[in-house]
A = this chain, B = another copy of it.
């Protein structure tokens, strides 16, 4: 398997965690989002992934895109250890936590969006950081409420083994720390993120451990 990745992309970070949790070896192909005007916009990469985003996973002669779709594929084809629970209500809950991050927070704070804001509306770096923190804090507060209000939250987001929701939570918390979000009101989110970060699968997937880290 070949993973097209960028060390700091949180979507790629999610997939790296999932691959590590499954114990699957892969070749990392770095796609630098800033160099050469953005390597993800080169024709060679667009031929693989027309959306021009990372990550993408080359497997079985095909190229899969979208981090959550890739992780579900890994979970279906390499079921142990499972990243989703077996009951439909539990699966819906785990997917909802993952999507509360992947749909409601991350897309607003993507590099391409921050650049567009600056280019089109001429916002300052301060305004850019405030925008980032606003969506990150609002979204993580919702995740905190989803976690604290539910007895299925345990050592990890859903039970005592890490899964899809944790694969999304940790990269988002990484970003939240990087932009100095307020984290005091997120005791459950932070407790779970720290439990994850103690595991090698999460540690080795972190941006600083990637071959393309700067």
Contacts and interface: CB of A to CB of B under 8 A. Distances in A.
A22 to B, nearest CB: 14
A101 to B, nearest CB: 10
B72 A92 contact: yes
Q: Which of A66, A113, A149 is most buried by chain B, counting CB atoms within 10 A of its CB?
A: A66
A103 B66 contact: yes
Interface string A104-140: 1011100001001100110100010011001000010
Q: Which of A52, A92, A130 is most buried by chain B, counting CB atoms within 10 A of its CB?
A: A92
Given A50-B142, A50-B146, A104-B51, A99 B66 contact: yes
- Chain A interface bracket (under 10, 10 to 19, 20 to 34, 35 or more): 35 or more
Interface stretch (A57-65, A155-163, A170-178, A197-205): A57-65
Contacts of A89: 60, 62, 64, 73
A116 B134 contact: yes
A15 interface: no
Contacts of A113: 108
A95 interface: yes
A88 B103 contact: no
A66 B131 contact: no
A145 interface: yes
A5 B64 CA distance: 32
A77 B52 CA distance: 35
16 contacts: A46-B145, A51-B142, A53-B104, A64-B89, A64-B92, A64-B93, A66-B100, A68-B99, A68-B103, A69-B98, A69-B99, A73-B91, A117-B121, A120-B131, A120-B134, A121-B123
